[in-house]
Amino acid sequence: MGDGRFVRTETVPAMPPPGRDRALVGWLREHLFSGPLNIGLTLLSLLVLWWLIPPLLNFLILDAVWTGDDRAACIASPERPRVGACWAFVIERINFFIYGFYPAEERWRVDLFFALLAIGIVWLLASWAPNKRLGAIYFFIVLPIVSVMLLLGFAPFGLSYVATSLWGGVLVTVVVSAVGIVFSLPLGILLALGRRSTMPAVRLFSIIFIEFVRGVPLITVLFMASVMLPLFVPESWSPDKLLRALVGVALFAAAYMAEVVRAGLQAIPRGQYEGAQALGLSYWQMMGLIVLPQALRITIPNIVNSNIALFKDTTLVFIVGIFDFLRTIEAARIDPKWATPVTSTTGYAFAAIFYFLCCWMMSRYAKSVERRLATGYRR
Amino acid sequence: MSGSSGKQDGKSAIPAVEIAGMHKWFGDFHVLRDINLTVARGERIVICGPSGSGKSTMIRCINRLEDYQQGRVVVDGVLLTNDLKSIDEVRREVGMVFQHFNLFPHLTVMENLTLAPIWVRKMPKKEAEEVARHYLERVRIPEQAGKYPGQLSGGQQQRVAIARALCMNPKIMLFDEPTSALDPEMVKEVLQTMVELAESGMTMLVVTHEMGFARQVADRIVFMDEGQIVEIDAPSEFFANPKHERTKLFLSQIL
């Protein structure tokens, strides 16, 4: 080997990597105390937690009042100097928070709607659920029709009419979000395709719509839908207040969705279009079978992100007089029956927990999808 | 290798491809200039030339992946215009194999092969799968039908791409540098597949730098430079006795 030449005489067998310290102490040292900066940040984090957790724990659980019929239960007294969250208030008003003014004897219809919606969501989103195509038909066609009949009323089945002005609480928040999410995706896809179309009229319309809607706040869209729209249409067929807000939210979300989908479309290489065209596929076949399945796959995290934003934006419908979940809390917290120093804080804490749990679940889902996609198209 | 063969023995007098006085511009850039080329049925044409000479652009005009501004392109008797009907008609009869395969990564090999027959030819799924299996056997990878393209080697992917085009039972096959993106040890298996296809009598237009392949299967070689056809000749003459200065220079550089 001294002359720079070499011929291998035996193969080197594959060996496992040198052992890494997997013990807890080793992990701590490696991740939390590896250097002065790391040690400093670790201590700072502990300090923040120590300063944050005990008061929260005290307010939400340890000092909280769980039972009671009115404000007396949640007022500080000599024998109970510190009063935390007044959960008794939330428990007593929970039906109002969930159903709004929906007639008490008809609330099973709302419960059934929640159940049907949950089935649809799990069917579409869970990776283990079978037959996605049937699930899509159920979610996008069957569910909307059944929901309208169930919630609004359908005389042939003996379901009495319940005006949308009586709807409220979680029901309205879920309906507005679901309608916004369900309609924004197909509308957004069409707008995104329109924006990339070679037909000038289609492209111009898409660009104007997207840029106009994205250029104004949701509140403006809602005001226009509820105040200005009736000025332009005959009074006799002026549509329902909730319906107007739903249309406004759906169109608003569609404009954002269009840009999300467009980003996905732009990530698909030209070769995919050419491969499809060379095989003789039509435009819609190419888009539906080749381009969109790939583009939507990589856009799922961003779609969920848009939906999280939309879910929180639904609180703005209160501005046109619709009783969404946050608005029911707003109405209940000023009720003299429960007037205590902690009532408002409790109501807002309850709202925060509700919105956080919903959004957190959505983002967990996006995360799991991302992880599944990271493995590529192998199975 | 007998020069321009097959011109008379076709059943129909209509040439497979007829390009006459075609010009194309990319913006202000005159990329194809006065292209005239007639390809008979069953003829194998190899197109070569330096990069940027317009070879790929020219064959992409044959299935209208590119349009042209002047002259005419007639494929199997159909004049290619902006009319979508003529474009669809031509694309159904013309198969294409790309440098980067352009397989659909979200579909299995079998789904890649059956997609167009099912959706474009309206073939029943069972029949399409039978056809697909036949062609997978022909390109010698029948065992890969259930895999995704990302699980195959480059050479295997390109053979799947060839099989995918053949599943549409095309009359003409276009190859756009089919071996340029392959690792050296994969080139041979793809070329072998193409040689077999040529032996079956398929009309082929192949853009390639593989001069061995050109020598072996081409009826005529088209040499292009700066958007023009510089020389067309049978391989024996083309390699032994090039006429144009530009051809001589090109051959001296690559051989």
* Mean pLDDT value of segment A303-313: 92
| Nearest Cα residue in chain B from A296 | B106
Q: Name the DSSP letter for residue B27.
A: T
* Mean pLDDT value of segment A86-113: 92
Helix (H) or strand (E) holding A85: none
Distance from CA of A294 to the nearest CA of B (A): 7
Residues A108-119 have pLDDT tens digits of 999 999 999 999
* The residue to which tokens 């159940």 are assigned: A115
In the CATH scheme, what is the homologous superfamily, with its name and number, of domain A87-102+162-372?
MetI-like (1.10.3720.10)
Using a CB-CB distance cutoff of 8 angstroms, which residues of chain B are in contact with residue A276?
Answer: 104
CA distance B188 to B182: 10
* Contact: A278, B65; criterion CB under 8 Å: yes
Instruction: Considering only residues A240 and B146, tell me which one the structure prediction assigns the higher pLDDT.
Output: B146
Q: Which of B92, B100, B106 sits opposite A377 (nearest CB)?
A: B106
A-B C-beta contacts closer than 8 Å: 65
What is the ipTM score, two decimals?
0.91
Confidence of residue A70 (pLDDT cuts 50, 70, 90): confident
Residues A319-331 have pLDDT tens digits of 888 899 999 999 9
* Contact: A297, B106; criterion CB under 8 Å: yes
Contact of B91 with chain A, judged by CB distance below 8 Å, is answered with yes
User: What whole-number percentage of chain A has pLDDT above 70?
Assistant: 96
Distance from CA of B63 to the nearest CA of A (A): 7
**pLDDT at position A372, please?**
80
**pLDDT at position A19, please?**
62
Distance from CA of B167 to the nearest CA of A (A): 10
* Contact: B63, A278; criterion CB under 8 Å: yes
pLDDT along chain B (255 residues), means of 10: 43 83 94 95 94 94 94 93 90 95 94 96 96 94 92 94 96 95 91 93 94 94 95 94 93 86
* Contact: A379, B148; criterion CB under 8 Å: yes
Task: Please state the domain extents for chain A.
Answer: 87-102+162-372
Contact of B25 with chain A, judged by CB distance below 8 Å, is answered with no
**Taking 80 as the threshold, does the pLDDT of residue A292 lie above it?**
yes
Residues A14-46 have pLDDT tens digits of 888 776 656 777 778 878 888 899 999 999 999
- Contacting A residues, span 349-378, partner chain B, CB-CB under 8 Å: 376-378
pTM above 0.90, yes or no: no
Residue A164 buriedness (CB in 10 A; 0-12 / 13-18 / 19+): middle
Residue A141 buriedness (CB in 10 A; 0-12 / 13-18 / 19+): exposed
- Contacting A residues, span 164-183, partner chain B, CB-CB under 8 Å: none
User: What whole-number percentage of chain A has pLDDT above 90?
Assistant: 51
Using a CB-CB distance cutoff of 8 angstroms, which residues of chain A are in contact with residue B92?
Answer: 280
Residue ranges of the alpha helices (H) in chain A?
Answer: 24-31, 36-57, 87-99, 107-125, 132-137, 143-152, 169-195, 200-215, 218-223, 229-232, 241-266, 270-278, 283-285, 292-313, 325-333, 343-374
**pLDDT at position A52, please?**
94
**pLDDT at position A2, please?**
67
